Amino acid sequence: MSRGSRKWLLSNYPLYQQLIEKEVRKVVVKELKKYKALRVAVQNRKEQEEQGVRGLFPALYESDKQKEMKVRQIERALQYTLDEIERRIIEEKYLGTTRVKDITLYLDMGLTKEQYYMKKKEAIFQIATALGII
């Protein structure tokens, strides 16, 4: 890193940190939303195997092993890296079947706005770390 870019980074660190946080959140949320569909795909494949049916639908993308591994690793990240408040935020915000606003969640959970957003940010970064995103 050049001296000039290091100086810019240090003088603009809060901005730089916000950009990184935004990018990490974007990637993690995308993976969590994909996880919902992958979880169903893995269940469907197991059901097909139990019934002796294979190739019910054409597969254009990821292999079954990749899908299963992603599901297992995301489930492990959710189970072992988050406390109960962080897990509830992630499950209700990103893994439920209905869209939930942040304000609804933090009011229902009895958290202040600041507590909620801090817990949500911590959860996103814990998941990102566990999955090797950061």
Half-sphere exposure of 82 (CA within 13 A, CB side): 24
Domain of residue 7, residue span? 3-130
Q: Residue 13 and residue 9: Cα distance in Å, rounded?
A: 5
Residue 10 pLDDT = 55
Contact, 95 vs 32, CB < 8 A?
yes
d(Cα 48, Cα 126) in Å, to the nearest integer? Answer: 34
* Number of folded domains that form the chain: 1
pTM: 0.80
Give the pLDDT of the chain (134 residues) as one tens digit per residue.
556 665 655 566 666 677 788 999 999 999 999 999 999 989 998 998 899 987 788 877 768 889 899 999 999 999 999 999 999 999 999 999 999 999 999 999 999 999 999 999 999 999 999 999 98
Question: Quick one: pLDDT at residue 2?
Answer: 57
